Amino acid sequence: MQGYGGPDVLEYTEVPDPKVGPDTVLVRVRAAGVNPVDWKIREGGLDGAFPTHFPLVPGWDVAGVVERVGPAVWELAPGDEVVGYVRTDHIQWGTYAEMVAAPVRCLARKPARVGFAEAAGLPLAGLTAYQALTQALHLVQDETLLVHAASGGVGSMAVQIATDVGAKVIGTAGARNHDHLRALGATPVEYGDGLADALAEAAPQGVDVVLDLVGGEALELSPKLLTGTGRLASVVDAGRVAALGGRYVFVRPDPVMLATLSRMVDDGRLAVHVSETFPLERAADAHRLVQGGHVRGKVVLEVA
């Protein structure tokens, strides 16, 4: 990207090779996850939160192979397969590329059980769900969790992580995704008109925990659904969720948590559903699909 705008500002072009600092790992990219935050960055939506520099390579999710390590990196070596949530304190050199220089604090070993495309869909969505449920909401066994937009990338991870904890999960989604949610272990509820009545029927005593991934009406409705000691978190609207007594979640890189998620995949306790892949040169098409909403699971760019 040379500037903010629609999907057409994404150009398939050449940029200089990344610089490898003392605690940096040069990763040969095999796949890069596409997340809603990517198109928000493309449109300038995070300009007030992060210093941004052009030309800008988007992307925070990566799966690939270590090419070279900085002299202070002892955790990884060339040839290691890794995944990463490569978010730094400014936005410029992201993961939609053949090579990415990633701080070692952003990386973990790739789960061996899955391919690079599935692995690239794990970091941001998995960490968001994990941090929301374990740190912001402190979900425990036998509690009832409601996930708004449960069939998307973060939602489907949250359903599986909560089920693994031993919680009961209710998930809102369109009708076409209800079987998918049942397969993940959740009770599906149709969003849209009649949502409040449908949720009251699914959880007549209320729910202990709500994880909101969509905002708007779903977020406004959520406090009314909670039990007296219920907790609310949202990834969408920091000001509004705070006003409603909940917590805002913005995912942080964490190699220990990412390694935990990777082991969960290898143990068969967590699956990454990739709905569609695109070659790197079609990143604009991937953005159009994700920005349109209603994607089940993850969209991933594959790098030849």
Number of other CB atoms surrounding residue 55 within 10 Å:
13
DSSP reduced 3-state for 282: helix
pLDDT for 5-16, tens place per residue? 999 999 999 999
Note the CATH architecture for domain 126-248: 3-Layer(aba) Sandwich (3.40)
What global pTM score does this model have? 0.96
Q: CA-to-CA distance for 75 and 293, rounded, in angstroms?
A: 38
Q: Are 7-122+272-302 and 126-248 equal in CATH topology?
A: no
| Structural domain boundaries in the chain | 7-122+272-302, 126-248
Summarize the confidence of residues 158-166 as an average pLDDT. Answer: 98
Residue 192 has pLDDT above 80, yes or no: no
pLDDT for 112-141, tens place per residue? 999 999 999 999 999 999 999 999 999 999
Residue 202 — pLDDT band, cuts 50, 70, 90? Answer: confident
Summarize the confidence of residues 167-193 as an average pLDDT. Answer: 92
- Residue (of 298, 273, 265, 255) closest to 85 by Cα position: 255
pLDDT for 80-98, tens place per residue? 999 999 999 999 999 999 9
- Residue (of 80, 76, 94, 99) closest to 303 by Cα position: 99
- Residue (of 17, 261, 12) closest to 153 by Cα position: 261
Q: Domain 7-122+272-302 belongs to what topology?
A: Quinone Oxidoreductase; Chain A, domain 1 (3.90.180)
Q: pLDDT value at position 252?
A: 97
For 182-235, the three-class secondary structure string (H helix, E strand, C coil) is HHHCCEEEECCCCHHHHHHHHCCCCEEEEEECCCHHHHHHHHHHEEEEEEEEEC
% of the chain with per-residue pLDDT over 90: 91
pLDDT for 251-294, tens place per residue? 999 999 999 999 999 999 999 999 999 999 999 999 999 999 88
End-to-end CA distance of the chain: 21
